[in-house]
């Protein structure tokens, strides 16, 4: 099963997207957007930059758990992962974004 982007609304009224792997697990989340068009633009940026390893920033939380950010060409963070249990798991998450994002369909959950 292919990955998908889901657009949802936060309790604050902001839009956000999550990239889900084929198994339904969230592998990348966005920040909040005030406009749905900006959220869709963020998805387009993920599709463009996710195919290039150099745009993934490998980081560690203050308590030592690995995670990653995906940055656009201008350096802005366009998506981030949740913390992982190991650097290997984080790298597997990056691989999942690289495989799923470019061809992922968009499901707008704000319309239902």
What is the rounded distance in angstroms from the CA atom of residue 30 to the CA atom of residue 26? 11
Query: pTM here?
Result: 0.93
Q: Which domain CATH number covers 70? A: 2.30.29.80
Q: How many domains does the chain have?
A: 1
pLDDT in tens, 25-62: 999 999 999 999 999 999 999 999 999 999 999 999 99
Long-range contacts of 56-61 (CB under 8 A, 24+ apart): 56/94, 56/97, 58/87, 58/90, 58/91, 58/94
Whether 112 is covered by a domain: the verdict is no
User: Where in the sequence is the domain holding 51, given as residue range(s)?
Assistant: 4-107
Whether 39 is covered by a domain: the verdict is yes
Whether 15 is covered by a domain: the verdict is yes
Tokens 């690289």 locate to 98
Q: How far is CA 57 from the centre of its chain?
A: 13
Which residues neighbour 54 within 8 Å (Cβ) at sequence distance 6 or greater? none
Q: Which of 46, 60, 62 is nearest to 90 (CA)?
A: 60
Tokens linked to 69: 């950010």
Query: Region 11-17: what's the mean pLDDT?
Result: 95
pLDDT in tens, 56-112: 999 999 999 999 999 999 999 999 999 999 999 999 999 999 999 999 999 999 985
């Amino acid at each position: 099963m292919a990955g998908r982007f889901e657009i949802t609304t936060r309790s604050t009224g902001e839009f956000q997207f999550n990239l889900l792997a084929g198994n339904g697990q969230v592998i990348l989340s966005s920040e909040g957007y005030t406009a749905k068009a900006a959220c869709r633009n963020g998805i387009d940026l993920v599709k463009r930059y996710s195919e290039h390893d150099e745009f993934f920033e490998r980081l560690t939380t203050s308590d030592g758990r690995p995670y990653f950010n995906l940055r656009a060409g201008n350096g802005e963070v366009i998506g981030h992962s949740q913390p992982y249990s190991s650097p290997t798991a984080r790298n597997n998450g990056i691989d999942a974004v690289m495989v799923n994002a470019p061809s992922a369909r968009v499901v707008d959950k704000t319309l239902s």
